Amino acid sequence: MAAAPKINTEPSYRDIDRSVLRVMEPAGRAYWAWIGFCFTLVAIAGGFWARQIYSGLGVTGLRQPVMWAIYITNFVFWVGIAHSGTLISAILFLFRTKWRTAVYRAAETMTIFAVATAGLFPLIHLGRVWFFYWLLPYPNQRYLQPDFRSPLVWDAFAVSTYLTISALFWTMGLIPDIANAREAATGWRKTFYTVLAMGWQGTDRQWRHYSMAYLLMAGLATPLVLSVHSVVSWDFAMAINPGWHSTIFAPYFVAGAIFSGVAMVITLLIPMRRLLGIEDLLTEWHFDNLAKVVLLTSLVVSYAYITEAFMTWYAGDPIEQMTFHMRYFGPWGWMYWVMVSCNCVIPLLLFSPRIRVNLRALWVITIFVNIGMWFERFVIIAGSLTANFEPSQWSSYRPSLTEIMITVGSFAWFLGLFSLFSRFLPIISMTELKEGIVWLRKAVKRDRVRAAA
């Protein structure tokens, strides 16, 4: 990759195009080594899955009565990660937020691949995955139909709708940008982008329908994103289990999802900005605002933890109280306190404006948030299952190699897909950045002033 041409403090439309399109030039050996590494891990995880299908779920660490553990934790974790993308691309679009333009494409891409990762786990965890299509409602010769009273069926509808709608929304945003790439590309890439751009030329007729549809898609995606994690949370809240059966779950999970998702956006963007040489488009201003979202949702999540504890104490149900006592002080208590430190305490550092723009510190904090949010789901899902109503049925759980490798594989799958995307399609929306160029100029100027001081 050529050295990044320095943008002056007044970046023009052309500067934006150049910076973004330069990222899409052919990649070096290190990049392909990384891609190869990721997909090797995916292949290994695939092997473990094949073995699990062949010999049965006994190869996992799951034992009576812990029926759900790491797989469902990963599912909820990845669906949660997905949420920030739609928050940034749809909800903040409706709010006309200025700083979203530079980060939304990366966040939305993350959404697509995170949902694609999450969607694998309900399949991986099935006892008889070869019959998964029984969950689809279509006329069939078995005369069997899914039970629409089951939250798992709602989940299937919510997650597949989410994947489809975010993919469409993402594709729509990409079309004008790919048309730009088409103009700059040569060789097979030119053919590739010409096909993908589908003949976009930016005529007034095209923009007129495009803008309206984009607005409406954002309007549809907004309630959708809130509904998806609510539905996921109902998988638990609709069950009678102490530790799950709670009305606070939907907003609690949505806040947690946005919290972990925005943290993941920051985790990905900070190294990406350096590696792809787009420091001039992703300024401190953008990270400052993202960090504020993390801080806000961290406070909401902390509030939910406190409410949960209060409700348990106030309701006076001894079994519920026992479950929470186990959660806080039981054998897995350390996980709870890891979670509280990562999700409630460490993000408080973001109250400092200096830490919000210190990218190294910010990166470390968001890694902690990711760890904390993974543990949150694990504590809720597996933790609540180890001990509840019948003391004779209490047990514990230890993940097996299969589960660990499939989890690692899911991270590799996500990172591999994201890395592939980042070099082949515009990772920053040129169109939207141009629309908000005034704000970008201000941010770049501010960065320069700070750097000079």
Partner 1 sequence: MFASYHTEEGLNGQIYNRCVGTRYCENNCPYKVRRFNWFVPEWPAPLNLQLNPDVTVRGAGVMEKCTFCVQRIQFAELNAKTEDRQLRDGEIVTACQQACPTRAITFGDSNDPASAMMRRRDDNKLRNYRALEELNTKPAITYLRDLYREKGKA
Partner 2 sequence: MSTIAIISSFADDARCAHAIEELRAAKVGDFNTFSPIPSHKIEHAIGKSKSPVRWMVLMGGISGILTGLAVTIGTTYEWRLNAGGKPLLSWPPFIIICFELMVLLGGIFGFLGVLGLSGIPATEIALGYNGRFGEDRFGIVVRCDEGDAARVESIMKESGAEEVVREGV
Instruction: Name the site residues for partner 2 (rule: CB under 8 A).
Output: 12-14, 17, 137, 139, 143-149, 153-154, 157-158, 161, 164-165, 168-169, 171-172, 175-176, 179-180, 183-184, 198-213, 216-217, 220-221, 223-224, 227, 231, 430-431, 434-435
CA distance 318 to 81: 34
Give the residue among 202, 200, 167 at the shortest CA–CA distance from 182. 200
CA distance 182 to 200: 10
Find all residues with CB under 8 Å of 333, minimum gap 6, and list them.
326, 327
CA distance 353 to 296: 14
CB of 132 to partner 1, least distance (A): 7
- Helix, strand or coil for residue 63? strand
Site for partner 1 in 16-55 (CB under 8 A): 55
Give the residue among 110, 383, 154, 397 at the shortest CA–CA distance from 257. 110
**Nearest to partner 2 of 169, 418 (CB atom):** 169
Cross-strand pairs, 63: 66
**Nearest to partner 2 of 201, 392 (CB atom):** 201
Site for partner 1 in 316-335 (CB under 8 A): none
Contact characters 111-150, partner 1, x per CB under 8 A: -----------x--xxxxx-xx-xx--------x-xx--x
CA distance 273 to 385: 41
Q: Which stretch binds partner 1 (CB under 8 A): 3-11, 295-303, 382-390, 422-430?
A: 382-390
Give the residue among 169, 112, 83 at the shortest CA–CA distance from 414. 112
- CB 354: neighbour CB atoms within 10 A? 8
**Nearest to partner 2 of 68, 154 (CB atom):** 154
CA distance 8 to 444: 9
CB of 220 to partner 2, least distance (A): 5
Choose which of 64, 141, 186, 247 interacts with partner 1 (CB under 8 A): 64
User: Is 241 an interacting residue with respect to partner 1 (CB under 8 A)?
Assistant: yes
For partner 1, the binding residues (CB under 8 A) are 55-58, 62, 64-65, 67-68, 122, 125-129, 131-132, 134-135, 144, 146-147, 150, 152, 235, 239-241, 385, 388-390, 393
